[in-house]
């Protein structure tokens, strides 16, 4: 799955390299037309492309599979036969999903930067504020962005974990988790439901650009962290309620 | 079975706690302050005496003018047509909600950043240098001010010291006297804006001929700096236009923020100043910027009829109207009436007559039609 994620920036970079006609064509996702000037933008562009679908998809697969997968293959009860508390099992499963979130974002970002280095010129990076920062600082900011997006995916991972405790069919849990993330993004586009938007776990996903401003706008980082922690708390508690009372038959 | 029940306790308790925190967190932020009693005049004097020159903060602007959401349209209307793009970007700033960061160090150094999703628009003034930068389009406009110019000073900063400056108290009472026939000035309940205690000045028009119900200005109790402006339409409890600080720091911002140079690959346009200053860059900054300013900027000298809140600005556009009326935005926003088309918002009405005159005012559209017919 990480390989598939790494393919996203590679595809973008190769496609742009092949079709580059020397002038920035309009349209496409944000930052796309800057790649030819600076390869370091490949990582950011790939994240913009990957956030709506690819990242939630893979996180949904991992989180949805976490408990239901064990149940589906009949290994869950063996896990619980050994003296391991159910809370601890849940915490470990969530930690694994969180590590995957980080690995997934870092994969996209690092693969993007590497392919950018290989195919395009690299130099000081222009931020969205119009200021220019050095390569080193831009790499630091790329790391911050990866952390930001990882944080943003934690809420979805918690939802996936909860759904995963509901069923013994891993495919169902994965699909439901991915559907939840897509529904949340669709709702986020409807201006009629604007009052609901700040409560959606997808609300701050694209605000990672605040880390590309000069000076960095930290408020969205904090707001994102609080929101995701609330989701983790709520769905973690629900998952515990369900998992601790569940009769493990498989 | 009893133990099973116990295990659901956290699943109920944690969401409950989260909801309670989320709700009370919002209430605590609006708790009112405990400030010494003042008269409206004293608060106005406080504003006049305000000497805040260096600050940085985050401005939140939201407006509910009753216009349709044009953000989707504005990107589609094409950047090839310069005036159309300017109109739609002005409309885009006037409708919808925006967050902007503002940094100021004296009247000469100012930077406003309008934060968009994955993009940003910047206006920078450093001494005589003016920059407008749009990260989405990757364009920048550069202009140099004539040696003394004041076009870009923010509405917030105190007026320059030219000639005999009246004391704040004199200014306050003079202002009160001059507005009194048309406007009732009173003090509303104290409030907290951007974590600072503030008085709120309420200006209520005495006439019924205006769409504006009242204007509320939050004045920082400590420095006298206006922190928030809200404009309410008549008979509406929610602000139709609102701009205010959500964060404010009175520290001097870092000097290199004002030292702007566009990044490589940016399309830079040098502008002559004579045809600049049409509200393109200051839309996010000026709380006092009114739609009627934008409406009057391209015609021959506008005339004002009526008084106070009921005044109507009239200007002749001349030239070819089809350029305006054929714009898809126009047909989207305006409704045809007898003798022209009306653009009706919650606070401002604009009438474009068939013979090329443009009338605007914070009045109902019928009054505009009467004024147009009276000529």
Q: How far apart are CA B187 and CA B118, in angstroms?
A: 41
Rounded-to-integer distance, Cα A141 and Cα B34, Å? 43
Are the Cβ atoms of B11 and A237 closer than 8 angstroms? yes
Task: Tell me how far apart the alpha carbons of residues B251 and A129 are, in angstroms, rounded to a whole number.
Answer: 21
At A65 the three-state DSSP class reads helix
Q: Is residue B351 within 8 Å of B340, Cβ to Cβ?
A: yes
Tokens of A83: 């003296």
Output the DSSP codes for B74-124.
HHHT-SSSHHHHHHHHHHHHHSSEEEEEEEEETTTEEEEEEEETTEEEEEE
**Model pLDDT, residue A96:** 94
pLDDT of residue A157: 95
Chain A interface, Cβ < 8 Å to B? 24, 30-31, 33-34, 37, 48, 123, 126-132, 191, 206-207, 209-210, 213-215, 217, 219, 230, 233-234, 236-238, 240-242, 244-245
Domain limits of chain A?
2-244
ipTM over 0.85: no
Supply the pLDDT for residue B62: 83
Question: What is the spatial distance between Cα A91 and Cα A170, in angstroms, rounded to a whole number?
Answer: 18
Are B323 and B342 contacting, i.e. CB atoms less than 8 angstroms apart?
A: no
Q: What is the CA angle A77-A79-A82, rounded to 5?
A: 105
Tokens for B146, please give them. Answer: 């004539």
For residues B350 and B358, the answer to whether their CB atoms sit within 8 Å is yes
Mean local confidence (pLDDT), B334-338? 81
pLDDT of residue B136: 79
pLDDT per position as a tens digit, B255-272: 888 888 888 778 888 877
Question: When comparing pLDDT for A249 and B80, which is higher?
Answer: A249
Residues of B with CB under 8 A from a CB of A: 4, 7-15, 17-18, 22, 58, 69, 101, 113, 115, 117-120, 122, 131, 133, 135-136, 138, 140, 247, 254, 257, 260-266
Which of A228-237, B141-150, B238-247 reaches the highest mean pLDDT? A228-237
Q: Write the pLDDT tens digit of every residue in A40-70.
A: 888 888 888 889 889 999 999 999 999 898 8
Tell me whether residue B358 is exposed, middle or buried, using C-beta atoms within 10 angstroms of its C-beta: 0 to 12, 13 to 18, 19 or more: buried
In chain B, pLDDT over 90 holds for what percent of residues? 0
Asked if A181 and A163 count as a contact pair (C-beta separation under 8 A), the reply is no
Q: How far is B220 from chain A (nearest CA, A)?
A: 23
* B109 half-sphere exposure, CB direction, 13 A CA radius: 17
**Are B242 and B62 spatial neighbours (Cβ–Cβ below 8 Å)?**
yes
Give the closest-approach CA distance of B106 to chain A in angstroms.
19
Sign (positive or negative) of CA dihedral B169, B172, B177, B178:
positive
Phi and psi of A158, rounded to 5°? -65, -40
- Mean pLDDT of the region B304-330: 76
Residues A204-232: tens digit of each pLDDT: 888 888 888 888 888 889 899 999 999 99
Q: What single-letter DSSP state applies at residue A215?
A: S
Separate counts of helices (H) and strands (E) for chain B: 10, 19
**Token pair for A221:** 């980082």
Domain chopping of chain B, boundaries: 40-275, 291-374
Please check whether residue A130 is in contact with residue A92, taking contact to mean a CB–CB distance below 8 angstroms: no
Q: What does the pLDDT average to over B351-372?
A: 84
* 3-state SS assignment for residue A133: strand
Shortest CA distance from A233: residue in chain B:
B14
Average pLDDT, integer, range B365-374: 83
Lowest mean pLDDT, pick from A107-116, B292-301, B346-355? B292-301
Contact call for B113 and A213, based on CB within 8 A: yes
> How many CA atoms within 13 Å lie on the side-chain side of B46?
21
Q: Classify B121 as helix, strand or coil.
A: strand
pLDDT confidence of residue B83:
54
CB A98 within 8 A of CB A215: no
Alpha-carbon span B182 to B196, nearest angstrom? 31
Helical axes A219-245 vs A86-119, angle rounded to 10°: 140
- Percent of chain A, pLDDT > 70? 95
* pLDDT band at B295; cut points 50, 70, 90: very low
* Domain spanning B40-275, CATH architecture: Clam (2.50)
Give yes or no for a cis peptide into A161 (omega within 30° of 0): no
User: Could you tell me which of B229, B213, B242, B237 has the C-alpha nearest to residue B347?
Assistant: B213
Q: Domain B291-374 belongs to what topology?
A: TATA-Binding Protein (3.30.310)
Q: Which residues of B touch A132 (CB under 8 A)?
A: 261, 263-264
C-alpha A126: how far from its chain's center? Answer: 24
């Amino acid at each position: 799955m990480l390989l598939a994620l790494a393919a996203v920036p590679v595809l973008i970079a190769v496609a742009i390299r092949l079709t580059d006609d020397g002038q920035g064509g309009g349209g496409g996702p944000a930052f796309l037309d800057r790649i030819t000037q600076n390869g370091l933008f490949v990582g950011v562009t790939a994240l913009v492309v990957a956030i709506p679908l690819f990242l939630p998809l893979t996180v949904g697969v991992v989180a949805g599979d976490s408990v239901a997968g064990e149940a589906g293959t009949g290994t869950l009860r063996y896990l619980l036969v050994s003296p391991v508390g159910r809370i601890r099992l849940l915490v470990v499963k969530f930690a694994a999903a969180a590590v995957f979130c980080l690995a997934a974002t870092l994969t996209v970002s690092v693969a993007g930067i590497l392919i950018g280095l290989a195919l395009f010129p690299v130099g000081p990076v222009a931020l969205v504020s119009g200021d220019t920062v050095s390569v080193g600082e831009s790499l630091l900011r790329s790391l911050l962005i990866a952390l930001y997006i990882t944080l943003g995916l934690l809420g979805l991972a918690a939802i996936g974990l909860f759904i995963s405790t509901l069923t013994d069919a891993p495919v169902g849990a994965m699909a439901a988790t991915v559907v939840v993330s897509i529904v949340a993004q669709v709702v986020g586009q409807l201006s009629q439901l604007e009052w609901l938007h700040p409560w959606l776990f997808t609300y701050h996903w694209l605000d990672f650009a605040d880390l590309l401003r000069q000076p960095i706008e930290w408020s969205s980082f904090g707001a994102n962290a609080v929101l995701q922690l609330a989701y983790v708390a709520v769905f973690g508690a629900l998952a515990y309620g369900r998992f601790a009372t569940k009769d493990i038959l498989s | 079975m009893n133990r099973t029940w116990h295990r659901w306790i956290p699943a109920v308790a944690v969401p409950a706690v989260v909801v309670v925190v989320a709700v009370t967190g919002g209430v605590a932020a609006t708790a009112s302050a405990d400030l010494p009693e003042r008269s409206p005049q004293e608060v106005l004097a406080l504003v006049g005496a305000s000497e805040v020159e260096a600050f940085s903060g985050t401005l939140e602007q939201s407006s509910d003018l009753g216009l349709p959401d044009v953000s989707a349209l504005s990107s589609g209307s094409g950047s090839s047509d310069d005036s159309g793009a300017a109109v739609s970007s002005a409309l885009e700033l006037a409708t919808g909600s925006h967050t902007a960061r503002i940094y100021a160090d004296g009247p000469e150094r100012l930077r406003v950043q309008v934060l968009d999703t994955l993009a940003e628009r910047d206006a920078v003034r450093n001494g005589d240098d003016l920059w407008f930068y749009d990260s989405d389009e990757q364009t920048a406009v550069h202009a140099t001010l004539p040696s003394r110019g004041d076009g870009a000073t923010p509405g917030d900063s105190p007026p320059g010291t030219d000639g005999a400056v009246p004391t704040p108290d004199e200014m306050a009472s003079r202002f009160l006297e001059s507005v009194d026939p048309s406007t009732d000035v009173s003090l509303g309940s104290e409030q907290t804006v951007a974590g600072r205690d503030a008085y709120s000045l309420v200006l209520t028009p005495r006439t019924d001929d205006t769409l504006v119900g009242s204007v509320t200005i939050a004045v920082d109790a400590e420095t006298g700096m206006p922190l928030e402006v809200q404009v309410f339409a008549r008979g509406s409890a929610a602000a139709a236009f609102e701009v205010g600080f959500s964060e404010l720091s009175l520290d001097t911002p870092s000097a290199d923020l004002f030292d702007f140079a566009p990044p490589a690959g940016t399309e830079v346009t040098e502008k002559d100043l004579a045809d600049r200053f049409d509200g393109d860059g200051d839309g996010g900054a000026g709380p006092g910027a009114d739609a009627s300013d934008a409406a009057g900027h391209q015609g021959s000298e506008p005339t004002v009829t009526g008084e106070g809140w009921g005044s109507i600005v009239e200007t002749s556009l001349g030239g070819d109207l089809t350029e305006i009326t054929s714009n898809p935005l126009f047909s989207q926003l305006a409704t045809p009436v007898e003798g022209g088309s009306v653009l009706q918002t919650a606070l401002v009405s604009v009438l474009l007559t068939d013979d090329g005159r443009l009338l605007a005012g914070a009045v109902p559209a019928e009054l505009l039609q009467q004024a147009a017919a009276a000529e």
